[in-house]
């Protein structure tokens, strides 16, 4: 079978994605093998290919959905042909971190994964993920392409829970890429007043069409001043930084109101340093926090949101590439053309 795997370039020593012919996996006891139908390309996949990813062991493809092709010994509740979303990381739900609500910091969370990864014609889901409830069956009316949004939308759901956004609050989403738009869509459904900033005109046009109140071109105007002008001089109640760029983080810190909340959602490159006076955090009583990953609790809610708002979420899917064209998929994503990119087996 075909699989896109992370390899090392022999001449440069740098990581690269390579389409390889490998053995089709067989399920271990308690595990599953899933036939890929669609897998979203995430910004973190691109960071992994470029050697800039800092959070976990680099496996490509974690936004995969498909059909169960083989069921391991002792698995109950699943059978061949079931349409599923298997979460790549699953927490234990019993350790100190899990009980305290930091499930994605559980030592077990990042210990298992899809093998060889989500960009593979077939992949194995380990016993841990199956037995801990990480595999969800897809509703019949949710097509595979749109279902590939379950994982990233779940990560947004978790972040927005941490922000505790109330109806009527103003929220700046800094970054109008795919996850920035997922945040905007969820925020609008919560009754928030959404402003979106980005440096890409194309992405801002997309945000504008989606019906947010205001878009700000961060390449042309001062973001904090523009946000303050729209919020009676205060700044927004909440900022979601849906970009790993230090400039976007600083703009977020300067665009939030006194006493406001800032959620770091995008992943900064390795070694990113902020040029920011920490005293301002105290003087303005700012709450800064990060949100990493998602659990089954959020994937279930994400699936319900996507199913009930299918046509809006479907608009995020602007490009589709087969596994053979994986390099083109990466180039398209890295160039910022379009929104969400989905990779399919053929
Ligand atoms: Zn992702
Ligand atoms: Zn745990």
pLDDT per residue over 286-301, tens digit each? 999 999 999 999 999 9
Measured in Å, residue 315 CA sits from the centre of ligand 1 at 18
Does residue 303 carry a pLDDT above 70? yes
Secondary structure percentages of the chain, helix, strand, coil, to 5: 30, 25, 40
pLDDT in tens, 245-258: 899 999 999 999 99
Nearest Cα residue to 276 out of 255, 258, 256, 253:
253
Per-residue pLDDT, 52: 65
Walk me through the domains of the chain, giving residue ranges and CATH numbers. 2-149+316-344 (3.90.180.10), 155-290 (3.40.50.720)
Q: How confident is the model at residue 317 (pLDDT cuts 50, 70, 90)?
A: very high
DSSP 223-278: HHHHHHHHTTTS-EEEEEE-S--HHHHHHHHHHEEEEEEEEE-S-PPTT------T
Q: Which ligand is nearest to the CA of 103?
A: 2
Does residue 120 carry a pLDDT above 90? yes
Per-residue pLDDT, 12: 80
The helices-and-strands tally (H runs, E runs) of the chain is: 13, 15
Torsional sign, CA 119, 122, 127, 131: positive
pLDDT in tens, 128-176: 999 999 999 999 999 999 999 999 999 999 999 999 999 999 999 999 9
> Helices 150-163 and 296-308 sit at what angle, rounded to 10 degrees?
110
Q: How far apart are CA 329 and CA 100, in angstroms?
A: 39
Measured in Å, residue 83 CA sits from the centre of ligand 2 at 27
Rounded to 10 degrees, what is the CA torsion of 11, 14, 17, 20?
Answer: 40
Measured in Å, residue 177 CA sits from the centre of ligand 1 at 12
Q: How far apart are CA 46 and CA 331, in angstroms?
A: 9
**Residue % of the chain over a pLDDT of 90:** 87
Q: Are 168 and 326 in contact (CB under 8 A)?
A: no
Per-residue pLDDT, 300: 97
DSSP 8-class letter at 323: G
Q: Which ligand is nearest to the CA of 99?
A: 2
Measured in Å, residue 48 CA sits from the centre of ligand 1 at 11
DSSP 8-class letter at 205: H
pLDDT in tens, 320-341: 999 999 999 999 998 888 899 9
Q: Which residue has the higher pLDDT, 333 or 12?
A: 333
Q: Which ligand is nearest to the CA of 46?
A: 1
CA 346 to chain CA centroid, Å, is: 23
Q: Are 242 and 180 in contact (CB under 8 A)?
A: yes
Q: Which ligand is nearest to the CA of 151?
A: 1
pTM for the full predicted model: 0.95
For the record, the structure tokens of 175 come out as 């970054």
Q: Which ligand is nearest to the CA of 128?
A: 2
Nearest Cα residue to 198 out of 293, 266, 291:
266
pLDDT in tens, 36-76: 999 999 988 988 888 766 555 578 999 999 999 999 999 99
User: Omega of the bond prior to 116 within 30 degrees of 0, cis?
Assistant: yes
Per-residue pLDDT, 53: 60
| Secondary element (H or E) of residue 197 | strand 193-198
Q: How far apart are CA 179 and CA 184, in angstroms?
A: 9
> Which residues fall inside 5 Å of ion ligand 1, going by CB?
42
Per-residue pLDDT, 269: 79
Measured in Å, residue 96 CA sits from the centre of ligand 2 at 7
Per-residue pLDDT, 54: 56
Per-residue pLDDT, 343: 98
CA 272 to chain CA centroid, Å, is: 20
Measured in Å, residue 299 CA sits from the centre of ligand 2 at 17
Q: Lowest mean pLDDT of 1-10, 36-45, 51-60, 271-280, name the range.
A: 51-60
Measured in Å, residue 21 CA sits from the centre of ligand 1 at 25
Cβ neighbours, 10 Å, residue 74: 11
For the record, the structure tokens of 312 come out as 């809006």
pLDDT in tens, 192-216: 999 999 999 999 999 999 999 999 9
Measured in Å, residue 312 CA sits from the centre of ligand 1 at 19
Q: Which residues contact 93 (CB under 8 A, 6 or more apart)?
A: 103, 132
């Amino acid at each position: 079978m075909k699989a896109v795997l992370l390899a090392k370039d022999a001449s440069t020593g740098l990581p690269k994605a390579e389409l390889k012919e490998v053995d089709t996996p067989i399920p271990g006891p308690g595990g599953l093998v899933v036939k890929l139908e669609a897998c979203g390309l995430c910004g973190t996949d691109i960071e992994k290919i470029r050697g800039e990813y800092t959070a976990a062991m680099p496996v490509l493809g974690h936004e995969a959905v498909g059909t169960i092709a083989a069921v391991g010994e002792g698995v109950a509740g699943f059978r061949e042909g079931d349409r599923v979303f298997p979460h790549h990381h699953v927490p234990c739900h019993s350790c100190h971190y899990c009980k305290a609500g930091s499930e994605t910091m559980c030592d077990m969370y990042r210990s298992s994964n899809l093998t060889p990864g989500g960009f593979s014609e077939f992949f194995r889901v380990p016993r841990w993920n199956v037995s801990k409830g990480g595999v969800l069956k897809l509703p019949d009316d949710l097509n595979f392409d749109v279902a590939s949004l379950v994982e990233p939308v779940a990560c947004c759901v978790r972040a927005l829970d941490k922000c505790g956004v109330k109806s009527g609050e103003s929220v700046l989403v800094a970054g109008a890429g795919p996850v920035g738009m997922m945040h905007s869509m969820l925020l609008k459904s919560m009754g928030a007043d959404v402003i979106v900033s980005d440096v890409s005109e194309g992405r801002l046009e997309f945000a504008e069409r989606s019906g947010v109140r205001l878009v700000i071109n961060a390449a042309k105007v001062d973001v904090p001043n523009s946000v303050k002008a729209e919020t009676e001089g205060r700044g927004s109640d909440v900022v979601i930084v849906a970009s790993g760029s230090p400039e976007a983080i600083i703009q977020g810190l300067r665009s939030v109101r006194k006493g406001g909340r800032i959620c770091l959602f995008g992943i900064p490159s390795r070694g990113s340093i902020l040029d920011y006076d920490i005293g301002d955090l105290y003087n303005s009583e700012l709450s800064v926090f990060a949100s990493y990953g998602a659990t089954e609790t959020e994937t279930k809610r994400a699936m319900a949101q996507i199913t009930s708002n299918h046509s809006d979420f479907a608009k995020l899917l602007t490009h589709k590439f087969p596994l053979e064209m994986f390099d083109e998929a990466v180039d398209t994503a890295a160039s910022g053309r379009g929104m969400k990119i989905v990779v399919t087996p053929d």
